[in-house]
């Protein structure tokens, strides 16, 4: 109730709190209770005892800022070039990471989204399942990178130059709908 109570300076805070609570929780109470029940079926209530709201947000959403060093430490490279040689692959990896380091924060998030279907890195290494990988494909300067988001795998042809790698990678991640192999 409350529809017959006039809002005045003495009860405006209560009104705003109750209104916000009704808008956010009241109309979704059954759905939220079912979600809570489902989570508690697999995670014991005691696991939440020392979590702050920020800790919980990080567990659910990951870190908004893509930490390149962290991503580098999680990522493995696979060679499917058909014998390009270790030296070319090492140069390619250096090009790749230097491009990622110089990307804007938004471009890094787009890259991670294109690669994994999540715009953020998990809060910890254990959150990445499977861990991200890059498969270097045979040289082909006219193909765009692709991704298999289910297994966090990025497929990139062994481009002939850093400039081509950068332009193709940025084009692919900006397309957004072009991510699945």
CA distances from 138 to 33, 46, 88 (A): 51, 51, 12
Is the separation of the CB atoms in 147 and 110 below 8 Å? Answer: no
Cβ atoms 159, 138 nearer than 8 A? no
- CA–centroid distance for 96 within its chain: 19
Question: Which one of the listed residues 29, 51, 150, 171 is annotated catalytic?
Answer: 150
Rg of the chain on CA atoms, in Å: 23
Question: The tokens 């209104």 sit on which residue?
Answer: 19
- Is 63 catalytic? The answer is no
Pairing mode of beta strands 153-157, 146-148 = antiparallel
The distance of Cα 164 from the centroid of its chain, to the nearest Å, equals 25
What residues act catalytically?
A: 150
């Amino acid at each position: 109730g409350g529809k017959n109570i006039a809002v005045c300076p003495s009860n405006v805070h209560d009104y705003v709190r109750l209104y916000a609570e009704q808008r956010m929780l009241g109309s979704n109470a059954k759905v939220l209770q079912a979600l809570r029940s489902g989570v508690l079926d697999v995670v014991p209530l005691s696991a939440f005892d020392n979590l702050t709201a920020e800790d919980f947000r990080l567990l659910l959403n990951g870190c908004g800022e893509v930490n390149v060093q962290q991503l580098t430490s999680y990522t493995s490279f696979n060679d499917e070039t058909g014998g390009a040689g270790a030296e070319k692959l090492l140069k390619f990896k250096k090009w790749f990471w230097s491009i990622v380091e110089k990307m804007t924060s938004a471009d890094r998030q787009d890259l991670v989204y294109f690669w994994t279907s999540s715009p953020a890195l998990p809060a910890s290494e254990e959150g990445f399942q499977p861990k991200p990988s890059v498969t270097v494909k045979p040289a082909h300067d006219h193909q765009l990178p692709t991704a298999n988001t289910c297994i966090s795998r990025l497929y990139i042809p062994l481009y002939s130059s850093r400039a081509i790698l950068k332009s193709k990678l940025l084009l692919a991640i900006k397309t957004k709908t072009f991510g699945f192999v």
